[in-house]
């Protein structure tokens, strides 16, 4: 009897274990007029305009957002109009860090600092923020592109975070800028 119960339980749990361990397939995409190459999950598609307006209500929403079918995992790219030159990156990091700490005082911080990705300087913010019905892990990088701030962020709900973090790190470390 115990063996039968174990077999039933195993058959129910096994697909979830396989899903959690299955690597997410990525494909390189060249975006923003050919200036940025980044790995994107193969099942992600550009977010529909109506959904983009709901998820990013500010008029300063990202230029491009790739999302999974349920829109619970997003890769957002935004080449802002904010002037930024490479020598101002540390200053931009300090300002972004302070802004997020002011906006989300209850956020859980994992990392904040300057880093190099494929030979280029970026700032990196990694934090979990409260949302309406969950918490969201935000990994955000920023650099200078053509004298303006380029932001690239990966967002995932807390419930899916453990499964997606290794992929998020692959995506962010894949960024290549072509000026």
| pLDDT beyond 70 at 7 | no
Burial (CB < 10 A; 0-12, 13-18, 19+), residue 179, is exposed
CA dist., res. 86 & res. 81, Å (int)? 15
Degrees, nearest 5: CA angle 43-46-52 = 130
Residues in CB range of 19: below 8 A, 6 or more apart: 163
Look at the alpha carbons of 48, 41, 76, 154 in this order and tell me if their dihedral is positive or negative: positive
Model confidence pLDDT, tens digit, residues 136-166: 999 999 999 999 999 999 999 999 999 999 9
DSSP character for 59? T
Structure token pair of residue 4: 């039968």
44 and 65 Cβ atoms separated by less than 8 Å:
no
C-beta atoms surrounding 24 within 10 Å: 18
At residue 19, the pLDDT reads: 46
Per-domain boundaries in the chain: 25-177
The predicted model gives 122-145 an average pLDDT of: 95
Helix locations, the chain, DSSP H:
2-21, 49-55, 89-103, 158-173
pLDDT of residue 18: 44
Identify the three-state secondary structure at position 25.
Answer: coil
Mean pLDDT of the chain: 88
Q: In CATH, which of 2.60.370.10, 3.30.43.10, 3.40.1000.10, 3.40.50.720 is domain 25-177?
A: 3.40.1000.10
Q: pTM to 2 decimals?
A: 0.85
């Amino acid at each position: 009897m115990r063996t039968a119960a174990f077999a039933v339980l195993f058959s129910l749990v096994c697909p979830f274990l396989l899903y959690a361990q299955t690597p997410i397939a990525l494909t390189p995409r060249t975006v923003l007029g050919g200036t940025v190459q980044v790995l994107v999950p193969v099942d992600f598609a550009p977010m529909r305009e109506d959904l983009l307006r709901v998820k990013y209500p500010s008029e300063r929403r990202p230029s491009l957002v790739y999302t999974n079918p349920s829109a619970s995992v997003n890769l957002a790219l935004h080449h802002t109009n904010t002037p930024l030159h490479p020598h101002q990156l540390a200053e931009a990091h300090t300002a972004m860090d302070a802004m997020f700490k002011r906006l989300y005082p209850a956020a859980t911080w994992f990392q904040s600092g300057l880093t190099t990705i494929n030979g280029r300087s970026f700032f990196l913010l990694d934090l979990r923020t409260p949302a309406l019905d969950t918490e969201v892990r935000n990994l955000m990088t920023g650099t200078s592109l053509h004298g303006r701030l380029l932001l690239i962020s990966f967002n995932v709900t807390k419930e899916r975070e453990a499964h997606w973090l290794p992929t998020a790190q692959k995506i962010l470390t894949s960024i290549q800028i072509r000026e």
